[in-house]
Amino acid sequence: MRLMPVMKLRWEERTQTPLLVLAVAFGIAYAVPIVAPGAEPWVHRLCTHVEWAVWAAFALDYLVRLGLAPNRWHFVRGHPLDLLAVILPMVQPLRLLRVVSTLLLVGRRARMAPQITLTTYVAGAVVGLMMFGSLAVLHVERDAPNGNIKTLGDAVWWSFTTMTTVGYGDHAPTTGLGRVLAVGLMLSGIALLGVVTANIAAWFISRFDRDDAVERRQTELLEALTLEVRELRAEVARLSAPPGPSEPRDVPSPTAPRA
């Protein structure tokens, strides 16, 4: 039982990079059929197989971590999004569910990586959410009769204006699923951009704190040097001052031999 946490930690460390690489492969496999709908049928089949393979790899990772957890019920309760991401694609074979599940799992593993800072994670999450949101809404709205999101550029522009809560209104989803995507993108965009704003503000505050600390150290050093110079001047003045009448002079001893 004591070895399980160590084995779990080793498994997570060794699988972080391969799973992130698989996530990139998933993004490419998801994007190709949408960006190039006229590609050969075997390309679409290959992309579908890659998507399911990546999801299976993350599902296997979840099961292994569950098996290595000392308390499995505590692990399930502590990782509800991981369990939801593994179950979602099995509920209904929609590509959108695989996208959501993979984003959840990738986000979980990225947060576990100690070498990934908060800034890098948030920036990657913003870019990934915008790109996957663009691809998803393009996939849904491109063939809609009254849709006005027909190209990838339109989809990216719509995602950007939606996430930043600008909402010019020149492009908007018209289908029910597209509007559900819009709601999810709005809520996620507000949350992520709030984190970005807070992170930028924290960076400025920490920078100002460092500058203030450096200025305080320089001021303290200057005050210490000034005090030391004053003490040296006082010592020099004391040594160079003529002796007073009560101070004994250095008089030669009468018994001292004459030269």
Mean of pLDDT over the chain: 76
Evaluate whether residue 100 is within a structural domain.
yes
Q: How far, in Å, are 44, 99, 204, 255 from residue 49 at the CA level?
A: 9, 14, 46, 115
Q: What is the mean pLDDT of residues 209-227?
A: 81
Q: How far, in Å, are 17, 61, 180, 243 from residue 124 at the CA level?
A: 15, 22, 23, 78
Evaluate whether residue 125 is within a structural domain.
no
> CB neighbours (10 Å) of residue 57?
19
Evaluate whether residue 136 is within a structural domain.
no
pLDDT, tens digit (0-9, with 9 covering 90-100), for 76-123: 887 776 777 677 665 544 555 556 656 656 665 555 555 456 666 667
pLDDT of 121 reads 66
In this predicted model, which residue has the larger pLDDT, 210 or 157?
157
Evaluate whether residue 106 is within a structural domain.
yes
Percent of the chain with pLDDT over 70: 76
In this structure, are residues 47 and 57 in contact, taking their beta carbons and an 8 Å threshold?
no
Residue 255 pLDDT exceeds 70: no
> CB neighbours (10 Å) of residue 137?
28
- Alpha-carbon distance of 251 to 249, in angstroms, equals 6
Evaluate whether residue 21 is within a structural domain.
yes
Evaluate whether residue 172 is within a structural domain.
no
Residue 203 pLDDT exceeds 90: no
pLDDT of 46 reads 93
- Please give the residue range of the domain that contains residue 79: 1-116
Single-letter residue type at 219: T
Evaluate whether residue 54 is within a structural domain.
yes
pLDDT of 115 reads 47
Determine which of 66-70, 88-92, 98-102, 250-254 has the lowest per-residue pLDDT on average: 250-254
pLDDT of 109 reads 57
Q: What is the mean pLDDT of residues 193-204?
A: 74
Provide the domain count of the chain: 1
In this predicted model, which residue has the larger pLDDT, 111 or 237?
237
Evaluate whether residue 93 is within a structural domain.
yes
